[in-house]
Structures are given as structure tokens and as C-alpha cells.
Amino acid sequence: MTYREQYAQSPASGAQLCRFWSAHVDALERHLSANTWALAAVTVVLIAYPIARIVIPAIINGIVPDVVQAVLNVI
């Protein structure tokens, strides 16, 4: 067995990895307090809000032609 073959994933390892990850997430859900979940939710909102207000409009302005933007501004 070569060094690389030792770490090659078998076809079943993907399913095993999903079950393993699911077990960890289930354990987190059981053991975290409501305050911790609230703190996590606030953190997600604080990260997502600037993305929604800055990055997404910048992408849309780059994709949508100026003619379409002018018509939408008139409406």
C-alpha cells in the first residue's frame, strides 16, 4: 500500500462522513443554551447585513445593463 492509497476514501466514506457530521451537529443542538443560539443568530445577522446591503447591489449593478437600470429608476 502506498502512502496515498492509505488515505484514499472508499465509496462508503462519504456517507460515513455525513453521519459523523450529523451526529456532531445533533450534539451541539442538544447542549447549547438559548443564549448561545441567540448570540450565534446575532452574529449571522451582523455578517449577512453588510453583504446584503453592499455586495449584492454591486453585483447587480455589474450585471444589469445601464439601460435597464434607467428604465427601472423611471418606474
47 Cβ contact partners less than 8 Å away, ≥ 6 residues apart? none
pTM for this entry: 0.48
Residue with cell 455586495: 55
Write out the three cell numbers for 63. Answer: 450585471
Per-position pLDDT tens, the chain of length 75: 555 565 555 656 777 778 888 888 888 778 888 898 899 999 999 999 999 999 888 888 888 888 887 887 887
